[in-house]
Each structure stands twice: as structure tokens, then as C-alpha cells.
Amino acid sequence: MAIRPAFLLSALLLAACAQSGDQASGPPVAGPEAKASVDWALAIHGGAGVISKTLEAERREEYLATLREALGLGRDRLAAGDPSLDVVEAVIQVLEDSPLFNAGKGAVFTHEGTNELDAAIMDGRNLACGSVAGLETVKSPIHLARLVMERSPHVFMAGAGAEQFATEMGVERVEPDYFFTERRWQQLQDALAGKDDDGKNGTDEHGTVGAVALDRDGNLAAATSTGGLTDKRFGRIGDVPVIGAGTYASNRTAAISCTGQGEEFIRHDVAHDISALIEYRGMSVGDAARTVIGKLRPGDGGVIAVGHDGSIALVFNSEGMFRGAADAGGRFEVAIWE
């Protein structure tokens, strides 16, 4: 059976991330609506989904305050000239340390009552990338993902092997009960009892945290971390650590991080599809993101993206998305709903 050229090209592009020394060829691709470049830009997210507007004021402010903290850290470091790769890792670690978001400390529980954490990071300069899945004792999955990218010949590590690599790298470990939060535990009990979420917690987000950035040197980076799905079984892995599905970055196009129903984001190859529309059709970051999210079912989730020109897209088809954006032009904002 003949291999279609478009499929072959896409496959080769994704495979390139395994070679950390490869250089992203050619100049950046300018979309028809590309605006004047800014020195740096940053976007973050903390999950998307059913986020009720009746969310208690105190809890709403907790979410917004943590988003501001993470965004402020990233803003200050980018303004100081730090590399985008360092910035997205640091921003993700702030969100991983918070019990509010479904990543790191706030991870949801599996069917068996354990926590399995996934993360990915990608360097837009050369398509280098690293992913981890099924972690149980690593405090910062995004840090281990970066070590996979920089300290191993591989791209993707999972389960016991990833934990062994963490031991060899000497990363910070925690006891499994570090990830316990009463809210996440109750969500599992409700799921096991067959109860629908009735909004009593105010949120039913498709949990992930993400950060994408452009630095002063014109380099892009993307990072995403998650605890997966409540009541997930059989070692299920979603889109987050799948390069091209939940995380992607190329200096030619954009840095993208996704949040939503992982299976759908894998099926639609969402992150790379956005990049491809920018590269092959000359779309702006915003138009590309809206086009791809438009292919998904209503409520599936959203994306954040920063283009090579510093343009920012925050696009979702769910009730809300915890998100923030900042750039060298003075933009600094966090939001949950439209």
C-alpha cells in the first residue's frame, strides 16, 4: 500500500524530536495576520472543563492567585532574559506544587487509589523533547521530563523504568501520600459510587497544567504536566506526554500546550496540527488554534499557544479554562471564563 506523502511528512517531523541535536530548518513562518514581534511572551493554563461560575469566591481567588504567582514568575524571568526552556519548567513547578491543579501535589487518583503522573517538555530550537508517564514518587514530573530530554538518548520513559531513571538522576522523591488531597480522594469515591459530578466542588476540569514561552533570543518552549483522569485504569496515558498531541514547540511556528479529553487530543494530533497549519498554510496562531479546537467535540478542552512573533492564543470550547498571559508589551492577565 502506498504511503501518502502528507502522512510521511508528519511522521518524519514528529520523529525528529528524538534527535536532540537536529536543528529546526528554515526561518520562522509568518502568518497573514502576524503582528509586530514582541521581545518575549508567555501563556499558562491550569486545566479546562466544567468550571461553574458559582465557584465560591474564596476558592476562585485561590486559583487566580496561584495563576498570578506562576505567571509573575515567568514574566520576571523572561524580562530578565532567561531562556524559555528554563522559564516553562519553573512555571510548571509552581503549578505542580499547588494542590489546586491536577498535576503534582493536586493529582487525581486512579481506580486503584494511587497517583500516576505524566509530563512533557519540548525545545523549539531543535525539536528536542522529553516525556514521562506513570510516575508515582517523583515530586516534579516536569523536571524529570527535562532530564529525559537532556540526559538520556531517549524521548519517552514510563512506569518503573522512569522511576529508575529518576533514582539515577537523583531527583527529589516523595512518599505516595504526598499527593493525597481530600478533594481528589472524594472525587474518586464519587466516581467509584457511580455518582455524577454535581458541581459541589465547583470544578470538573480536565486536569493539566501547561506553559508556553518565547524568550528574548527568539526561542520557543512548551511544557505540560498532569495527574490524568480520576478513576483511570490499566495504566492509561493521555495526550500530555505524547509529543504532537498535548505538547509541541518549534521555532518555525509556535509553542503549544493542551488541556482536555486526552483521547480526543491524541486522535486529532492537536498540538502538532496547530503547528502544521501555521507552517504549511501560513495561518496565524489564533486562527490555527481555533481551527483545530473546532474539530473537537464541544467541551473537550482547549489550548494555549505562543507564536514565533510573540502572538498569544488562548482557545477553548469548554465552560472555562484556568489561564494567563503576559508579554513584553505590558500584558498581564489571568482568567477562568470568557
Candidates 110, 203, 208, 230; catalytic one = 208
Q: Answer yes or no: is 128 within a domain.
A: yes
Strands of 88-230, DSSP E: 117-123, 128-135, 156-158, 203-206, 209-214, 220-226
Residue 205: pLDDT band by 50, 70, 90 thresholds?
Answer: low
For residue 254, report the phi and psi dihedrals to the nearest 5 degrees. Answer: -165, 170
Give the DSSP letter string of 238-252.
-STTSBTTTEEE-TT
User: Is 144 or 199 the better-scoring residue by pLDDT?
Assistant: 144
Q: Answer yes or no: is 331 within a domain.
A: yes
Q: Answer yes or no: is 25 within a domain.
A: no
| Cα–Cα distance, 166 to 37 (Å, whole number) | 39
159 has pLDDT over 80: yes
Residue 204: pLDDT band by 50, 70, 90 thresholds?
Answer: low
Whats the size of the chain, residue-wise?
Answer: 338
Can you read off the three cell numbers belonging to residue 68? 498570578
Domain that holds residue 87: 30-335
Q: For the domain that residue 70 is a member of, what is the CATH number?
A: 3.60.20.30
Question: Mean pLDDT across the chain, nearest whole number?
Answer: 89
Q: Answer yes or no: is 9 within a domain.
A: no
Cβ burial of 195 (10 Å; 0-12, 13-18, 19+) is exposed
Nearest CA to 173 among 144, 209, 146, 152? 144
User: pLDDT at position 311, please?
Assistant: 98
Domain count, the chain: 1
Bridge partners of 42, per DSSP, are 213, 326
5 has pLDDT over 60: no
Q: Answer yes or no: is 13 within a domain.
A: no
3 has pLDDT over 80: no
25 has pLDDT over 80: no
For the ranges 31-40, 131-140, 155-164, the lowest mean pLDDT is seen at: 31-40
User: pLDDT at position 225, please?
Assistant: 98
208 in catalytic set: yes
Per-residue exposure over 32-55, b if at least 16 CB sit within 10 Å of its own CB, e if not:
eebeebbbbbbbbbbbbbebbeeb
Report the pLDDT averaged over residues 54-70: 95
Report the pLDDT averaged over residues 21-46: 63
Q: Answer yes or no: is 204 within a domain.
A: yes
* Torsion angle (degrees, nearest 10) of CA 161, 166, 167, 173: -120
125 has pLDDT over 70: yes
**pLDDT of 210-265, one tens digit each?**
999 999 999 999 999 999 999 999 999 999 999 999 999 999 999 999 999 999 99
**pLDDT of 310-325, one tens digit each?**
999 999 999 999 999 9
**pLDDT of 63-117, one tens digit each?**
999 999 999 999 999 999 999 999 999 999 999 999 999 999 999 999 999 999 9
